[in-house]
Structures are given as structure tokens and as C-alpha cells.
Structure 1
Amino acid sequence: MSRDWTAILLAGQRPGTDPLAAAFGQEWKALVPIAGEAMLARVARTLLASPSVARVLILAQQPEQLLVGDCAWLGANPRVATACSTRGIASSIAAVAGTQAAPWPVLATTADHPLLTVEMVEHFIAGADGYAGAGAGDVAVGMVNSAVLLAAYPDNRRTWLSFSDGRWTGANLFALRTDRAAIALKAWSGVEQDRKKAIKLVWHFGAWLAIRALTRTITLRGAMRRAARRLGFHAVPVALPFAEAGIDVDKPSDHALATAILDRRG
């Protein structure tokens, strides 16, 4: 597989004190240690080890403050660059995606995804590439079905979106392949404040689609395709068979679970 993807690693945080960072005596959530290494360093290492990833661009409000301690090596790596983010996730990605700093195709993920593995990254990219070959490759979103995640971690709590083919949660993996992805990013900037509220999120895409979703008479892929087509681009989900792909670290209970998983991995 060719090494041609730009990985945008989102390492910023909302204004104010992040509760998880504060719990670990850190100013920045991305620097919270897990299994002996800052989350940012762990995710960056995974991306750099992925055969499809050519470069990593770290986006944060003050990225220079993150390149310290066990993240200092990132500042000296020729395949790693940094850029300042704006207030919103979507607008921050839109400012750099498709530029010299982050040429297409772009893979976006987050620093609070320390369970990410090379296998997950490559599986997701292969799925996105497959849809692109079928002419539907503007945007792809990694998703995990509740049957997969809860079979392994029945007590884990996620934000679930319900459709006729089951309940789904995001995997913090996004593939942006063409300049039409800018349309998706603009749309997402208007709804990202509700990304943790399933019902509100769905209603942003119209009453008809919301009703179909709420009555579970449409599949996840069908809903995503219809919502995107209204705006002028193609979007598809990539179902991931990895339970851990749906677990990010937002709170102490997530941190404890992720630590236990990483300890088992050795």
C-alpha cells in the first residue's frame, strides 16, 4: 500500500479547564499519560507506523506547548508538523485540508484515541479507498456497531446513533479525499456542538431523515448517503470490527478502561 495519506491529529481542547487533564495535573488533555506515555505521543507513534500515512500534522491551539516531555521527539521528526487550530474542529481541519501542509487524501483522528492501532488505521483506509473506487469517496467515517463494542465491553457507555441496521458510535476516524470534503466540513461546523447528543444531531439533517432514523426505517449508510447528497458530496460509513476503535478517553472511567486494555496488550 502506498504511503500517501496526510494524518491530521487533533490535539486541541475546548476553552477552560479540561476535567480529565486537571485530574492528572496537566494543562492539556493531549498530554495526559496513559500506560506510561502521553496520549498524543502514543497516537502519533501509531500513525507514523501505519504504511499508508506519509505525514502527520498536529493541530492544537498552542501546539508548541505540547512538544515537551515524551512528546518532544515529535518536534524533531521530519514527518511531523504543527499548525494552530481555530475554535472549532471542523473549521480547523478545513483551514489546512487540501493545502501544502495537508494535501489530499486526509485522515483525521484525535489525540484522545490511545487505543488506536495500525491495524485499525489500515482497515479504515482500505475501506475508504474501496468506496472511492466505486465513485463515492469524498468522505468516509469510521463507525463501530454496538454489537461489536458491547460484546467486549458491556459496561462501556457511548453516544449511540440508532438505525435499522443497529446502533452505531463513531471511531474518531475520518477520511477526506477530495475538495468536496470542504462542503462536509462546513456542514459539520454547524452541528458539532451536538455531536454527543444523538437526537439533536440527527435533526440537523432535516425532519424527514430524522423521522426515518428515529423510527429505524433507514440504515446508517442510507442516512449518511442521503444527508450528504443533499449538500453535494458523497459520504459513507466504514464499519470497523474492532471494539476498541469506538473507545476514546474523555473521562477517568475511560482512562481506567484504556489503561487496562493497554496493559493486556503489553
Structure 2
Amino acid sequence: MTVALVLAGGLKPELSPGELKAEALIQIGENYMVEYVVEALAALDEIKQIVISGPREIEKLYTTSTIKVVPRGTTLVKSFTKAYQKVPLDTRQILVVTGDLPLLSPQAVRHFLHTCHYLNGDLFYPLIKREDCEAKYPGMERTYIRFREGVFTGGNLLLIKSAVVEQCLPLVEDFIYLRKKPWAMVVRLNRKLLWALLLKRLSLQDVEKEAARLLGGVRGVAVCSPFPEIGFDVDKASDLALVKKLLSARKN
């Protein structure tokens, strides 16, 4: 069984001038931002339950037994922990999703889950090629990093086998805080990797091996996704304006 944890408790004052509003409650069209994320996840048979860590105002939006809301923590990691405590014991794997992905689609999540199913690993992290991002969303601003295999940006999903969650918590914390800074993530794994990166010799396999070393043998796998929407998180006013434009066009 797969359970999705949605981390939607972050505050982004730059997106709601004059008031301190949780990112989950930012209005985009007729819905709150978090509703787009939950809608995409709820459309998948592969996901049996969704646990949202966010502001209490979200509770009134969901009354079904398959969607639970827990209070947000003071940090993203504490929010993850609160949500994880509600995960059923028979859960096979956890899909961690940030709540600021209003363009997320069921197809993107399904592709990620199905791809991971056929890979040998314990922890899976998506990467999107630069050319795919720029082709679908020309105005999308992201930080990219060059590997031997190509130029990528990171997605805002993380799939973890339940058996290794406790062991992976330190790296999960770094993923959450450094997901927008791929250079910093490489340095966190091993400073020696930075030289390979600067010399354009760093491979995805190098990163996977170093992650396994740090996690005591837990196998981390980079997964290439053709869906840029999993990397389009709303951080700035320009992101929000572009998302509103795209969703309005999709509706019409």
C-alpha cells in the first residue's frame, strides 16, 4: 500500500503581501493551492490514503476517511513526522509531496510510481531534464545541475520504502531543506563530489553510491521524469502569476 504525505504548512509571505498566510491557503482560481495537489493524488488508485500536514483551515475541506489532516509542525521535518505518525502499519511505501505544486497531474505521479516499481531501490527521487522544463513551461525558473547524463532539476516528490524511513530521516530532512539548492545537496553528500561536478564528470550513479554510503546501505535511485510539473513549485510572485495563467488556460 502507498500512502501520500502532503507537506503544506509552509509560510510564504511574499505570495500574500500584507498577511501571513500558509502556502496551502493561497487562492488560485476557485481553489486553494493544496487542493490541486490533493486532487491529483486522490485520482490515483495506487494511493490508498493521503495525510496532509497543514493549517487547521484545511480540515473542513476533507471529510472522507482516506484523507486526513494533521497540524503542521514548526518545521517541514516536524510536519513530516506528524504526518508519518498517522500512516497505517501495513503501508509499504510513503510518497512525500510538497503542497506547493498546483500543476501536479495524476499522470505525472503515476509515471513516477510505476517507474519506481520496476527499479531496485529503497528511496527514489525524481529529476527532470532542462529541455523538458523549458519546452513545456518557457517561463519556469529553476536551478539546474549538470551531470554526465544531462542537465537536470529536481522534483518535489520523494518515494521511500516504509522499512527504511527511520534510517532515511537525516537525508529526508536535507532533501526538504536543500531541494531547491542542488549544489548544496551535492556538497552535503560529499565535498569530493563537488570537484567532479565542477569538472562536469559527476554522474547520477556517483550520487547514488554516496547516498547509499551515508545511509548505511539504503539504496537511493534517481528517476528521470518527463513531467516538468513535479518540479514547478510556487515560491515567488512570478511563479504564482504564471501558474494562474496556465490553470486559467487549461480550464478554458
**TM-score, structure 2 length as denominator?**
0.88
Aligned residue for 2:169? 185
Which secondary structure does the structure 2 equivalent of 1:87 belong to?
A: coil
Compute the displacement of 1:99 (Å).
Answer: 5.9
The 3 A distance-change label for structure 1 pair 92 and 255 is same
Q: 1:86 is matched by which residue type in structure 2?
A: G
CA deviation after TM superposition for structure 1 residue 92, in Å: 3.4
Q: Deviations over 1:194-223 (max 9, x none)?
A: 443333321111122222223221222431
Pairwise CA distance, 1:255:
1.2
**Contact conserved, 1:142 with 1:171, CA < 8 A, in 2?**
yes
Find the counterpart in structure 2 of residue 109 from structure 1: 97
Quick check: 1:120 aligned with 2:108? yes
Residue identity in the other structure for 1:251:
K
Greater shift after overlay, 159-168 or 180-189? Answer: 180-189
Look up the match of 2:2: 5
From the superposition, tell whether residues 95 and 111 of structure 1 become closer, same or farther in structure 2 (CA, over 3 Å): closer
Q: Which runs of 5+ in 1 are unaligned?
A: none
Q: In 1, Cα distance between the equivalents of 2:94 and 2:175? A: 21
SS of the residue aligned with 1:210? helix
Please, which runs of 5 or more residues in structure 2 have no aligned partner? Answer: none
Indicate if the aligned counterparts of 1:107 and 1:174 stay in contact, CA closer than 8 A.
yes
1:20 to 12, 15, 38: 15
Q: How does 1:12-161 map to 2 (within 5 A)?
A: 12-14=9-11, 18-22=13-17, 27-60=21-54, 63-67=55-59, 72-74=60-62, 76-94=63-81, 96-97=83-84, 100-101=87-88, 103-131=91-119, 134=120, 136=121, 138-161=122-145
CA distance in 1, matches of 2:179, 2:106: 26
Residue 221 of structure 2 aligns to a residue in which SS?
Answer: strand
Which of 195, 199, 204 does residue 215 from structure 1 map onto? 199
One-letter identity of the residue aligned with 1:43 = V
Q: 1:224 to 1:21 in 2, by over 3 A?
A: farther
Q: Which stretch has the larger CA shift, 87-96 or 33-42?
A: 87-96
Please give the alpha-carbon distance, in whole angstroms, between the structure 2 residues aligned to 1:255 and 1:7.
24
Q: Amino acid of the residue matched to residue 169 of structure 1?
A: T
Kept after mapping to 1: 8 A contact 2:105/2:229: no
Residues 26 and 32 in structure 1, CA contact (< 8 A), matched pair in contact too: no
Moved over 6 A (4+): none
Partner Cα distance (1:145, 1:99) in 2: 34
Q: Which amino acid counterpart does residue 38 of structure 1 have in structure 2?
A: Y
Count of equivalent residues: 249
Question: Counterparts in 2 of 1:188-207, with a 5 A limit?
Answer: 188-190=172-174, 192-207=176-191
- Please tell me whether the aligned partners of residues 91 and 185 of structure 1 are also in contact (alpha carbons under 8 angstroms): no
Aligned to 1:234: 219
The residue identity in structure 2 corresponding to 1:20 is L
**Contact 2:9-2:79 at 8 Å conserved across structures:** no
SS of 2:180's equivalent in the other structure is coil
TM value normalised by structure 1: 0.83
Alpha-carbon deviation of 1:110? 1.5
Identity %: 26
**Aligned equivalents of 1:96, 1:35: Cα separation in 2:** 27
CA RMSD, Structure 1 to Structure 2 (Å) = 2.3
Q: Residues 57 and 101 of structure 1 are in contact (CA less than 8 Å); yes or no, is this contact kept in structure 2?
A: no
Query: Is the alpha carbon distance of 1:91 and 1:179 closer, same or farther for their aligned partners in structure 2, counting shifts above 3 Å?
Result: farther
Given the superposition, is the C-alpha separation of residues 244 and 195 from structure 1 closer, same or farther in structure 2, using an over 3 Å criterion? closer
Per-residue CA deviation, residues 60-87 of structure 1 (Å, 9 max, x unaligned), is: 2xx32333xxxx331x111111223433
